[in-house]
A and B are shown apart, each in its own frame.
Chain A
Amino acid sequence: MQIARRALALGVLMSLVGVAGLSCENKAQKEFAKSQGSGNLGASASIKQLMAARHLTESDVEAALKTFVPPGKRDEYMIFASGGQSGQILVLGVPSMRLLKVIGVFTPEPWQGYGYGGGSDKILAAGAQGKKQIGWADVHHPNLSETNGDYDGQFLFVNDKANGRVAVVDLDDFATKQIVANPLVGSDHGGAFVDPNTNYVIETSQYPTPLGRDYAPLSSYKDKYRGVAVFWKFDREKKRIDPSQSFGVELPPYTQDLADAGKLMSDGWAFINSFNTELSTGGTLQGKPPIESGASQNDMDYMHIIDFRKAESLVKAGKAVTIKGMKVLPLAVSGAEGVLTLVGEPKSPHGCDVTPDGTAIVVGGKLDTHATVFEFSKIKKLIENKQYEGKDAYGVPILAFKDAIRGQVEIGLGPLHTVFDNTGNAYTSVFIESKVAKWSLKDMKLIEKLPVHYNIGHIMAAEGDTVSPDGKYVVAMNKMSIDRFTPVGPLYPQNFQLVDITGEKMRLLSDTPIGIGEPHYSQMIKIDKLHPRQTYAVGTDIYTGQRDPNAVDGGKERIVRNGTTVDVYMTAIRSHFVPDQIEVNEGDTVNIHITNLETAEDTTHGFTINMHNIDLSLEPGKHENVTFVADTPGVFPMYCTEFCSALHLEMAGYLLVKPKGA
């Protein structure tokens, strides 16, 4: 017995040694971490001295402490901002406001190999409008996908105002997966907005044209020109917009502007404002007033109210017509069936933002000093009771302004967009005054105004357009920076200003120059809602999410010639390509199928062939296919364009194109 106990004790002891071994490893890791430490600055310079040396006030230091993210630490929020004319999306961290990434969306983006020979060419090609392949975009309003009215961190949608297009970015890998081109109109502004469960991505036209963009003289503006709200059906399972299930709602040519989807009690409704009920078309050379004054004559414009569930059922019931392949619910049907209703709003408004509780819609006055708060329950009741003030020239019913509002708040000169915090306050950008106005939704009173620099356009708050805003931060997205940054020539950067809204008073924390385009809207999401992948399974076609049929395994590399077609099955791994010599004849069609065999994070390889405008980004595991005709005889080095390893420069090879008859 005793011996048995002793033996058991021995066994236990040995197991303990094992545990000790495990803790040893932690020690080793700590040792390693210590050896990698950045060294201590030491407390040599006191903070006061530093402040004096850098001319910092206590308030500056406080702002610095609130925004500083130490080396190696991460931000709390992520901003997805419109990249404006760059056609891209900017990703920034908050509170540091550091640029994390530029996502290629509508414009070729060389770093991501976006639009230089690989699978992304097809995405960009799908964004062609008519016969024109479009090489840029005026990116306006990024919108994150929502589940139950809250960001779910899965997808991002954004519109191109200049060419009437909407793109889908998958946040699994932060890559653009789809561009759909609106076949009806040439420009959009009210988009891309999603309903609370992302059934639809809403895109509303800006400048009216005949639907389908066919020719009609401007003299027929009233009869032939139209606006449209397109409800793009989003198929979450396929992760793509399904144009066959999408439809448009024809609108009068009032030049529709910003839009928002209802939430909670107003779910199923879309709200769009407009600024040209005067139907002005300009004619400056003929001595007529420009649109800017022509469209500003009436005291009221119309906010459009769309019951899109009803629209959807009418489309399903066959009430739609098809224009350029898209189903469109005609204006006459929408007006008669109660799909479309108008309500007066102070002239030339801007911003059309549904409150977090879904009970109200806030419209900025722009040329009026007020923000108008429309009460959804009143609107709904008026529509149900068919209590109309009248109808417009197109037979669309109009609600009386005074019966539809909760009230108006005196904001200041040029109120535009409104976002919300978690304590019932609204924040409106005040363009002409260059201020952020904080006001209470409950008692409709202005609380405070904060100067911003300068000419604030959009404003954005942390998850501020969801059903549960986070408060904490507001970002003023200023159109002008004037004297805020070191001069960089006559084209000035835009200025994103981070504002702390946790205290009683708003506090300006930082200025961030945006030197790539003029951003419009942006959204801010908590980091913990995002779970992007680090690598792909080896051989993945990132546009199908599946293994590419031409994926190449290590050891299976080969060159297959079939007549004048040459298929090169190639792999990339630190620090070589297999094969690294490709010999073809002038005139051959060459298909390169290349798989990055890497599996470790951040081991991206690039691939280029000199003089061929081929540039691929091969993130770990990614597969790409690229086809070209070897029409120029000669010698073309090819190499890896990402500094992948110490032998990166050696990661190279040759394409040899033998001249005909040689």
Chain B
Amino acid sequence: MQLPALPAHLLILPDIGLIVLTMLVLAADLTMPVRWRRQAVTLLAGLGLLTLVLVLWLLPYDVDRIFVGGFRVTGFALLWKQVFVLSALCTVLLARPYFVAGGTRRRLMGNHGEFHALILVCTLGMCVVVSAVDLLTLFVGMEMATIPMYVLSAYLKGDDLSAEAATKFIIMGSLSTGLMLFGYSFLYGAAGSLHFQQILAAAQANPDAPLLMLGIFFVLAGIGFKLTLVPFHMWAPDVYEGAPTPVTALLAISSKATGAVFLALLLYGPLAPLHATLKPVLLLLAAITMTVGNLGALQQKNLRRFMAYSSISQAGYILLALTGERHLALTALVFYFLVYAAANYTVFFIISIVGQKQDENFSALRGLGANHPVLAATLMLAAFSLAGMPPLAGFLGKFLLFAAAAQQGYYLMVAFAALNSTISLYYYLLLLKEAYIVAPESQPPVLSLDLVQKVSLAVLTLGMILPACLPRMVEAISVVCGR
């Protein structure tokens, strides 16, 4: 069934929609009676984001249009907006129990109005990043995506871990922002303009300019923080562990996706002439990142911290793909993030469910296989998808990432990455070991799933299986990225 596409001048609708939705959420929080406030805000944010997803599906993907001089909407940007909006929707759904007594073992979160507004602002920032045509917009978008995260990671007021996480995050984040700005200034110096096209022209004219290289060096260091590339990853485990679980999920998926697409935009946009020079650096960073992430994950006991290391290693694979040729690399990147988000959110949902009455540790998973076979089977699918095992979508995602690097002839590096993902299989199997094999010390508490959680998990499970079976998704992404 082919739905009619919306007219092209509505391409900016998702971004405007996010702004409107943010205001509506805040207004609802202020005006609604206390009794309904929580439900109203969640419902509004959830339905609003769902509408935006539908709008994004209906927009035309073959138009390239620039709004108000500096806001470019392409099919590629729309794909990423889909990732961000879907991810925000998942976070909203994931966060529901964390406001209600009995929903979590940790401290409850309050101020749901601000919480949802911050998530929306953050998502808007990410949407701005993918629509940027100059460094200034890029910077504004990036900051808009990051600053709400500082607040969100400190959301468990009075919780030591959360406070520690936020403090570390702010210090590290500001440092990275500073580095990035410093890098921009060099790029500006080299090109005489902040606009991508002028930078591209300058880079083409003189690809060996030291100013450019210096600029890229700092930008890379700055983005390294966002993308948790080693050696800029130190903050991630602490922040992931300390932040509330839904925020951790948002950090692991949306924030990382922003970092990846930021790098992709620069590498395949204004800095394309230098791409070949940068490849060795990217390969080295990728190799270190995946290894450190994988080795770090081996010893973890806390599930959120575990997911931090797991996502660090994933950043390594993602970086590997960025050495590839534009079309395949971008296709791989979009597809990977969509399926990676599905698998990651599945794990986070399960973490939040087992975390109802226990700390969110590995031991909380014990007895899951015997007492909640469906939940355990879902976890198994998610773990295999994250490890990149067929026939799940994660496999196709990783296959595309590896293919992008293999196309350039980096077979040794692909072999290294593939063997590395064997290490990652080890710790994903540890999840299954806890869920299926290790016997619980005491009778595990009965877990209750409400309808929303069941539906979300069912949809996410489909998201882990269908993209690998139905070729349409890859094909569609490939067509859009080929433009």
Q: Do A and B bind each other?
A: no
Binding site for A on B (CB under 8 A): none
Q: Which residues of A contact B (CB under 8 A)?
A: none
